[in-house]
Structure 1
Amino acid sequence: MFKLLRTTALAAAVAASSFVAIPEQARAQSYQIDCAILLCLSGGWPASVPCTRARAEFIRRITPWPVEPPLQIWRCPMGVSFDADPSERNRARLYDILMEGNGSTPMQSFPGAPLTDSALEPQPAVVRRTGGLADALPEGFALQFVDGEYSDDNGIADIDISGDAFDFVRSIRVFNVTYARQRRTGKDGDNCTRSADVRLGSYGTQGDFHWSGSSVSALPAAHTGMERFGEWCPSIYHRSVFVEWRDYQGNYGFEQVNY
């Protein structure tokens, strides 16, 4: 099953590589990065420059402005055909490139900038946590910070991904704590006022992404900062975006960005 998944993802990545010659370089880059996210996420983010870049984009998309689907599988053309002439078969070479690690790590790009080396610039950092079995991004790796919005960009995979091999796509969940507030009120501080706005982003059967209402109580156990919400009555004001996932083998990973 994993061989089938890997072959599909590699075919998608090879197909995406054909877009490099298109004048719209940003479009070509978007195809490439989402195929890389798909392949690297399924394999547990192997240590390599392309997978570090893919993970950085995966996390950048859930930092505020806007909060985007971290994997946009509809941007990775898995169903297209490509020349199968033996001289053109470079899937093994592409896989070797993706899995080849070196000590270099690119910085993060500004929103909307083509993902080229010249466009990669550091962003102001926010407080962030990482966990699970996936390698953390390097210390000092910057994340953008602006007020939160939601992206309406959405679609579905261009092949059937309803099988178990693609469960790792549907395992991705994004929790956006737009705000959670708890404080004492009343003349003598004898009342406790609580309010929160939490939204959950999740993936459907064919990779379509949608938002729904959620709650503080639904936040995953790995999320921190809300442990005393509901107690009497510590002062809390919290905003964060939390993304969790499992790779193809079921290994858990997460990233939390507080802002």
Structure 2
Amino acid sequence: MLRSIRTYTLLLTLALLGSFAGTANRVQAQTYQIDCAILLCLSGGWPASVPCARARAEFIRRITPWPIEPPLQIWRCPMGASYHPVTPSENRGILYDILFTDRDRLRPLLTPATSSLLSENAIFNLGAPKLSQLPEGFALHLVQDRADIDISGPEFNFVRSIRVYDVRYARQHESGRDGDCNRSATIYLGTYGTQGDFSWARSAPGALPAAHVGLERWGSNCPSIYHRSVFVDWRDYEGNYGFEQVNY
């Protein structure tokens, strides 16, 4: 199963390599492409490739103040067309939802070079159905602030694993008058819901992951600390841990 996911992620990543070369009059399609790339590259553990490097750069840019955005905006990746495998247990078909619609709807997303790459023969050789065999009549549609297909299954746990910690400030210092230790912090945690919807909630220094750097001495005696950062972590499809931190 994991080998199948990696194979199809690689294929779709190669597809994105061609589609990133769009011009300014295709800004809307570019928006779709970058979030599809983030989705696919994140699931595969950010494999080394040009499209995944660009996707990761955008993923990090979105948490670089200010403003702080959801690093993955899955509602911008059209997944409204569905490929239903013959065998219900073949979850690999879910990844097809991201790019593999009929040819007319592929046209805004794929360049001629990419379309050639995803020829019927190339797809058939990977054990997937030809594009002409996909069901017709699927309309491209977006759902505001959530995925436009059901992603509640465990194969999309990597989306819900993403956590964004916005440490707006954390201050610790000793009061000169009475020697008391004054501590104050404003921290928010951004998380993804069952269908990829993103929301913020109040958090605290003690909830920060061990990989976060800057508040190690928080609560220990009273060293002077003033810290601001945004920290994002996640687990890929195979459960491998990753994180990034931006200080400001």
**TM-score, reference length from structure 2:** 0.70
Which residue of structure 1 lines up, in the alignment, with residue 86 of structure 2?
A: none
Indicate if the aligned counterparts of 1:12 and 1:76 stay in contact, CA closer than 8 A: no
> 1:162 aligned to 2:181?
no
Percent identity at matched positions?
A: 65
Q: How does 1:14-29 map to 2 (within 5 A)?
A: 24-29=25-30
Following TM superposition, by how much is the alpha carbon of 1:78 offset from its aligned partner in structure 2, in angstroms? 1.1
Which residue of structure 2 lines up, in the alignment, with residue 250 of structure 1?
A: 239
Indicate if the aligned counterparts of 2:168 and 2:187 stay in contact, CA closer than 8 A: yes
Which residue of structure 1 lines up, in the alignment, with residue 134 of structure 2?
A: none
> 1:51 aligned to 2:52?
yes
* Unaligned runs of at least 5 residues, structure 1: 96-153
Indicate if the aligned counterparts of 2:9 and 2:41 stay in contact, CA closer than 8 A: no
Q: Give the Cα separation in 2 of the matches to 1:157 and 1:6.
A: 23
Structure 1 residue corresponding to 2:205, chosen from 209, 216, 228: 216
Indicate if the aligned counterparts of 2:19 and 2:33 stay in contact, CA closer than 8 A: no
* Unaligned runs of at least 5 residues, structure 2: 83-100, 105-111, 123-143
Indicate if the aligned counterparts of 1:12 and 1:78 stay in contact, CA closer than 8 A: no
Q: How does 1:116-135 map to 2 (within 5 A)?
A: none
Structure 1 stretches of at least 4 aligned residues deviating more than 3 Å after TM superposition: 1-15, 17-24, 87-93
SS in 1 for 2:182: strand
Q: Give the Cα separation in 2 of the matches to 1:78 and 1:12.
A: 16
Question: Amino acid of the residue matched to residue 44 of structure 1?
Answer: G
Following TM superposition, by how much is the alpha carbon of 1:204 offset from its aligned partner in structure 2, in angstroms? 0.4
Q: Give the Cα separation in 2 of the matches to 1:75 and 1:208.
A: 12
Which residue of structure 2 lines up, in the alignment, with residue 73 of structure 1?
A: 74
SS in 2 for 1:229: coil
Question: Amino acid of the residue matched to residue 239 of structure 2?
Answer: G
SS in 2 for 1:223: coil
Indicate if the aligned counterparts of 2:165 and 2:232 stay in contact, CA closer than 8 A: yes
Which one has the bigger helix percentage? 2
Q: Give the Cα separation in 1 of the matches to 2:77 and 2:164.
A: 20
Following TM superposition, by how much is the alpha carbon of 1:173 offset from its aligned partner in structure 2, in angstroms? 0.3
Indicate if the aligned counterparts of 1:239 and 1:258 stay in contact, CA closer than 8 A: yes
Following TM superposition, by how much is the alpha carbon of 1:186 offset from its aligned partner in structure 2, in angstroms? 3.9
Q: Give the Cα separation in 1 of the matches to 2:20 and 2:210.
A: 41
Following TM superposition, by how much is the alpha carbon of 1:57 offset from its aligned partner in structure 2, in angstroms? 0.3
Q: How does 1:1-259 map to 2 (within 5 A)?
A: 1-2=1-2, 3=4, 7=8, 24-80=25-81, 82-83=101-102, 90-91=117-118, 155-188=145-178, 190-259=179-248
What RMSD, in angstroms, separates the aligned Cα atoms of the two structures?
A: 3.4
SS in 2 for 1:26: helix
Question: Amino acid of the residue matched to residue 234 of structure 1?
Answer: P
Indicate if the aligned counterparts of 2:235 and 2:241 stay in contact, CA closer than 8 A: yes
